[in-house]
Amino acid sequence: MLDKKILALVKTGKGKGLVELKEVPIPQINETEVLIEIKAAGICGTDLHIYNDEFPYWPPVILGHEFAGVIAAKGEDVKDWNVGDRVVGEPHTLACGKCWLCRTGNRQICPEKRSPGWGIDGCFAKYMRYPEPELLHRIPDSLSFKEAALVEPTANVVTDVLERGRVEPADTVVVVGPGPIGLLAAMAAKSGGADKAIMIGTEGDEEFRLSTARNIKSIDYVLNVSKDDVLSSVMDLTAGRGADLVVEASGAEGGITTALQLVRKLGRITAIGLTGKETIKFPYDSGMLKAAELYFNLSTSYTSWDTAINLINTGKIEVKPLITHIGGLPKWQEFFADLENKKGIKGIFLP
């Protein structure tokens, strides 16, 4: 019934690069698991970090954790799901369930967790074994698979911006870094009641990312650090106070410094961008003198997923403008290079 072999994008070993398109067997499932036919899979910044040996992973492993698909088969003990169900899934698989983090509802940061795409085989293949069906979420028929492939990054910004960043009505929210997460973060902030959403990027972001930001209706102001006096502009827009919330989505030293400059006294910074470095220069006293709150973030809460699905399905978060690359797995080198060089925003594989 199923193809005997499938193509998969595999990180074959430790080190920079070492990614190959290979034929692999179709995954086998046990009685508690499901097999998902992947209809669309998003390329995340984490995949690029793994390519560059800048994020933990256990090779050989099939890359990819942002997926939308259909249940193709299920184990005999799986009761709540049926073949044909349209799904997305949380990447919090193989958490221990026993540690204090799991027991307090925080399995997303369990040290034993092994997520698809780095800890177990992921979604850059036609089929994926998914070991914990309780982490799946149904998607409505009105939501395309391509759009649904962006539920996972959207759930990240729901967690980091709305839940932890605590967007409040009339807030001014500044987002540093106009990559896919930054653009989603700005839209999430407006969906949560922010009065102004301000996007900040560099000259290198201008061609694709800042130009896209200018065409998204929920982003009110777009600033280029090479052309605009960012600090003066934000102060003018906030009556000299600074931003209520700054989302640091760039992971760059300069972006982190900018976030601390722009946040108001007693304001909040929610950090999403990974630096890929062990240490960076950090203007610690700047944050101390403002008594600002700083939240470090990793992964998604359970509650963020259905919210993310709703926000995309109702158009409150527009994901279609972010998709710049669509194609099969053989295009992986082109897509990875373009996204790493800011010649695109979001890539979608159609395995």
21, 92, 284, 349 from 334: Cα distances, Å: 13, 29, 39, 12
- d(CA 344, CA 48) in angstroms, rounded, equals 14
Q: Residue ranges of the chain with pLDDT lower than 50?
A: 1
pTM of the model: 0.95
Could you tell me where the DSSP H helices lie in the chain?
Answer: 45-51, 100-103, 145-148, 151-157, 180-191, 211-214, 230-237, 253-262, 284-290, 303-313, 332-340
Single-letter residue type at 116: P
Which residues sit opposite 295 in a β-bridge? 270
CA-atom Rg of the chain in angstroms = 20
Coil, strand or helix at 333: helix
- The correct answer on CATH 3.30.930.10 for the domain covering 157-296 is no
How does pLDDT run across 142-167, given as a tens digit for each residue? 999 999 999 999 999 999 999 999 99
- d(CA 37, CA 24) in angstroms, rounded, equals 15
User: HSE of 174 in the Cβ direction (CA atoms, 13 Å)?
Assistant: 31
pLDDT score of 72: 98
pLDDT score of 276: 83
How does pLDDT run across 76-99, given as a tens digit for each residue? 999 999 999 999 999 999 999 999
Residue 59: name the closest of 16, 113, 5, 111 by CA: 16
Q: What's the CATH class of domain 5-150+319-349?
A: alpha beta
- Angle, nearest 10°, between helix axes 180-191 and 303-313? 90
Contact 343, 334 (CB under 8 A): no
Peptide bond into 60 cis (omega under 30): yes
Q: What percent of the chain stands above pLDDT 70?
A: 99
How does pLDDT run across 242-286, given as a tens digit for each residue? 999 999 999 999 999 999 999 999 999 999 998 888 899 999 999
- d(CA 160, CA 167) in angstroms, rounded, equals 10
Burial of 105 (0-12, 13-18, 19+ CB in 10 A): exposed
pLDDT score of 1: 47
Coil, strand or helix at 209: helix
Return the domain boundaries, the chain: 5-150+319-349, 157-296
pLDDT score of 67: 98
